[in-house]
């Protein structure tokens, strides 16, 4: 289903994060915002520890979130990482700070939506009214 694939490509936060990218296939590039630059993916990222990769992901997520604003992001840590999931690095660590139950549930829902869309794209789920309804609902949530 092409529509499910498009949602996975760009995400539709806060309902579904974008899919991860394979950064080993990408040459380094520079992003600039608010008179600051960042090179992505980081040099020698494959040699980083899982925690260093997580810290790099957090840094680039904050950098990207601040493109439209110079204020510090107001999203929770988990929501911020989910929103910029496409910037995560292979074998990245997980945040260790415990969040509230509502935040954990929100994150689980995002990843259930993500995994369901992935199953649709991979042909593991038949195109039923339920699948169509979920795709349509996610498309509408992204407007």
Note the pLDDT tens digit of each residue in 115-127: 999 999 999 998 8
Whose tokens are 């092409």? That residue is 2
Q: At what angle do helices 129-141 and 101-121 cross, to 10 degrees?
A: 120
With a threshold of 0.95, does the pTM exceed it? no
Would you list the DSSP string of 61-105?
HHHHHTSS-SSPP-S-HHHHHHHTGGGPPTT-----S---HHHHH
**What pLDDT is attached to residue 2?**
87
Whose tokens are 């042909």? That residue is 123
Q: What token pair was written down for 13?
A: 């936060």
**What pLDDT is attached to residue 97?**
67
**Which of 85, 70, 78, 65 has the alpha carbon at shortest distance from 17?**
85
Instruction: Domain ranges for the chain, please list them.
Output: 2-141
Per-residue DSSP letter, 46: G
CA–CA separation, 25 vs 48, rounded Å? Answer: 17
Per-residue pLDDT of the chain (143 residues; tens, 9 = 90+): 688 888 888 888 878 888 889 999 999 999 988 888 999 999 999 999 999 999 999 999 999 998 877 677 778 888 899 999 999 999 998 877 666 788 888 888 988 999 999 999 999 998 889 889 989 998 888 66
40 backbone dihedrals φ, ψ, rounded to 5°: -135, 145
CA distance readout (Å), 119 to 9, 35, 52, 59, 112: 14, 41, 31, 31, 10
Note the pLDDT tens digit of each residue in 86-118: 999 999 988 776 667 888 888 889 889 999 999
């Amino acid at each position: 289903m092409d529509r499910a694939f498009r949602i996975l490509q760009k995400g539709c936060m806060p309902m579904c994060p974008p899919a991860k990218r394979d950064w080993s296939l990408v040459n380094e590039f520079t992003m600039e915002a608010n008179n600051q630059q960042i090179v992505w993916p980081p040099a020698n990222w494959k040699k980083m520890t899982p925690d260093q990769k997580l810290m790099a992901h957090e840094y680039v997520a904050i950098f990207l979130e601040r493109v439209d604003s110079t204020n510090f992001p107001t999203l929770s840590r988990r929501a911020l990482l989910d929103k910029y999931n496409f910037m995560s690095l292979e074998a990245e660590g997980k945040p260790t700070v415990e969040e509230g139950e509502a935040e954990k549930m929100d994150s689980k829902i995002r990843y259930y939506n993500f995994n369901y869309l992935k199953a649709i794209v991979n042909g593991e789920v038949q195109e039923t009214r339920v699948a169509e309804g979920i795709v349509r609902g996610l498309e509408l949530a992204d407007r």
